[in-house]
Structure 1
Amino acid sequence: MFILKRQDVEISSIQHPKRDQQIPILTYQGQTFRLISVFSAAQEEDAKAFWRELTDNQGKACVLLEEPERYSVWGKIRLDQFAHEAEPAHDYTANPIYVKGCLLMLQALSLDIEDLLGHRQAGLFQKDLTDVFKQWRFPQADTPEAINHLLTIDPLNTGQLPAWQEHHLNTLLQELHRIGKSYFGNTSFVPHAVDAIQDLPLADSQQFLTWLKQSPLGKLWR
């Protein structure tokens, strides 16, 4: 739809109608958009590919915001519908199956780093993960204790999954791939991380893998 500069838009936030969290909102010429995904300044091509996938292939009304330190993709919403809609389908917290799948992949990568590269590298991985979660403001992941919790919980049996939205999951998948490649020097970690999805019930694992395959970031995990 559009590639915009920071001076073209107004960015604010609104209270989520059902959760204790703020939703970033971009306003451009009277239209409103919610945050879908964030990319670093070095990931310009990835950001544009993600944006084109949503607009050209999926027919979504989206804007790409270009800033000096990052790129971000935003999807069009109507605030009146968002504020008053009671149906879960319009709750922008990610599907719990997708959160569970991403946590399983995160944990698999963490274990591979510790098993193959050693305890010191595993500690550095947790520090890198802390930096990612702080930079992109992940809910319930802002302390070393919280991150250790995410690395050790059983995603299949916890009643307290983090309240992440799909843009958090997109960012996590993107950053996990970047970090994993920096530790291993290649993408040898990908198959084992994806295999971890098999811990989900069959129907859930199939749903997650379909979602991952359809995601513009899915090509990183093939």
Structure 2
Amino acid sequence: MFILKRTDVEITTVQHPNKDQQIPVLNYQGQTFRLMKMFSAQQAEEARALWRDLTDNKGKACVLLEESDRYSVWGKVRLDQLLGEAHGGCDTRLQILTQACLLVLQAVYFDIEDLLGARQANSFEKDLIKIFQKSKFPQAESPEAVKTLLTLNLLDSLHISPWQETHLSTLLQELYKLGKGYFGNTSFAEGIEEILESLSAEERDLFVSWLSQSGLGKLWVMN
């Protein structure tokens, strides 16, 4: 999206809802960005590679901040969303888990579309609709709603309505079954860290911990 210098932006902080620490926030031309990953001065190419991958390949709204002693990649968020995290930790937790699960869902969908073609992708959408309708997923029971979930820019989304943990567990269980049926193997479920790169380290840790505790870690394997 942008490559910026320190003089181009204002960096402030907001209080983390559950920990005694501050969350860095970058402000640029009325837009708000949250720190995703920090790099040393010697890691310039790594920082640019991550920024290009997120913006060009994954459609994320990100900025690369270049400073004399370091580089950092920031993802766009709504300020009221960040400030809202100071209230209702449970809702925040569910929103993060929902976002992570949707990232996994989109990754599987795009792999099916890229590797197996549009016809199989359309079939996958229809299978998802049946799953969402059967399990009564909120705001996800129509073809239009499913299409939105599969193509929504999750990092730049104005709002992601959180689902309950039972819905999230059902989604990952059924998605695993679908993926295995479409691909004929389970390699799609291995090493999913790359899918979660657009999340902050804290958000990834939360999702991985939940994945392990729920027993789903046996299906979706982390490297």
Both proteins in one fold, TM over 0.5: yes
Corresponding letter in the other structure for 1:131: K
Aligned residues with identical type, % of pairs: 49
State the 1:90 CA deviation: 6.2
State the number of aligned residues: 135
* Counterpart position of 1:183: 182
Corresponding letter in the other structure for 1:187: T
Deviations 1:29-57 (A, max 9, x none): xxxxxxxxxxxxxxxxxxxxxxxxxxxxx
Q: Tell me, in whole angstroms, the C-alpha distance in 2 between the residues paired with 1:111 and 1:214.
A: 27
Alignment of 1:100-119 (within 5 A): 100-119=99-118
For structure 2, the residue ranges without an aligned partner over 5 or more in a row are 1-86
Q: Tell me, in whole angstroms, the C-alpha distance in 2 between the residues paired with 1:189 and 1:205.
A: 19
* Counterpart position of 2:159: 160
State the 1:195 CA deviation: 2.5
Q: Tell me, in whole angstroms, the C-alpha distance in 1 between the residues paired with 2:180 and 2:174.
A: 10
State the 1:163 CA deviation: 3.5
Q: Tell me, in whole angstroms, the C-alpha distance in 2 between the residues paired with 1:90 and 1:105.
A: 21
* Counterpart position of 1:215: 214
Q: Tell me, in whole angstroms, the C-alpha distance in 2 between the residues paired with 1:200 and 1:138.
A: 23
Corresponding letter in the other structure for 2:123: L
Corresponding letter in the other structure for 1:136: S
Q: 1:131 to 1:193 in 2, by over 3 A?
A: farther
Question: Does the 8 A contact of 2:196 with 2:204 survive in 1?
Answer: yes
* Counterpart position of 1:174: 173
TM-score by length of 2: 0.56
For structure 1, the residue ranges without an aligned partner over 5 or more in a row are 1-86
State the 1:151 CA deviation: 0.6
State the 1:188 CA deviation: 1.3
State the 1:160 CA deviation: 2.0
State the 1:129 CA deviation: 0.4
Q: Tell me, in whole angstroms, the C-alpha distance in 2 between the residues paired with 1:180 and 1:194.
A: 17
State the 1:191 CA deviation: 2.6
TM-score by length of 1: 0.57
Q: Spell out structure 1 runs of 4+ moving beyond 4 A.
A: none
Alignment of 1:37-186 (within 5 A): 88=88, 95-186=94-185
